[in-house]
Chain A
């Protein structure tokens, strides 16, 4: 990869994991480095595909079961403390 950045650097940039200095440096290079820009666009388009799978939710009954478990544990704790 040209301009001193590795592909891994660019991936960290896409996921917002670069430092302020690295971010500025990459963005500066993007203005003049067509190859880097192309690689970034390719990465972004792949990442955008992943975005199309939306987060899923557990059922309400699962949440209720967890809270019931917690309440039971709390009650047992109270009993033993007396």
Chain B
């Protein structure tokens, strides 16, 4: 059976029944979205890798104990776990994510632009860094919605459930995030 064609729901059942390849496929399918969400929250590659591993360990534990109930989609459930682990992390270190002026040095490590020449790679990397800096400068609540909606691709309804706000509040935060981004671009004359 070609696992790439199998739906998440079926893969979960297959994994619970003992097929580890189904787990590998679930991870392959969703790893970038989950990792990017964590990375944008914590802004640190090493910490993001740790939290990514913790997320899937929690997924494995929950599935193996038969505690996963198909009341929603698999990916939103995983993203919720990742989100909660990020929140827990900041509670533990007793600080909230800070606004940083990132110099973008670490982006070279992970982004894969092997098909491009050096100049194209540099331009893409700079653009990515500029966008990430913009996101980092948003108020925390707005930043959160941007990450969850745009990169994790959760619906506004799912975001409202995860963050315990109304759908309209989630939508409003996203709107203000986009407005604030445009303001920052204008004020700081950023070219993207």
Contacts and interface: CB of A to CB of B under 8 A. Distances in A.
B102 interface: no
Interface string B34-46: 1110010000000
A5 to B, nearest CB: 13
B128 A53 contact: yes
Interface string A43-63: 100110110111111110011
Contacts of B89: none
Contact of A58 (B23, B52, B134, B146): B52
Contacts of B192: 49, 52
Given A49-B192, A50-B131, A77-B64, A57 B32 contact: yes
Interface string A9-26: 001100101000000000
B165 interface: no
A64 B59 CA distance: 15
Interface in B153-192: 155-156, 168, 171-172, 174-175, 178-179, 181-182, 185, 192
A35 interface: no
Nearest to B181: A46
B110 A57 contact: yes
B134 A49 contact: yes
Interface size class, chain B: 35 or more
A28 interface: no
A63 B27 contact: yes
A56 B111 contact: yes
Interface residues of A, number: 31
Nearest to A49: B192
B88 interface: no
Interface in A62-82: 62-63, 65-67, 69-71, 73-74, 77
Contacts of A32: none
B75 to A, nearest CB: 13
A45 B131 CA distance: 13
3 smallest CB-CB distances across A and B, nearest first, come from: A46-B178, A53-B131, A8-B171
Given A50-B135, A70-B20, 14 more contacts: A7-B175, A8-B172, A8-B175, A12-B156, A49-B131, A49-B192, A53-B128, A55-B32, A55-B36, A58-B31, A58-B35, A58-B49, A66-B56, A74-B20
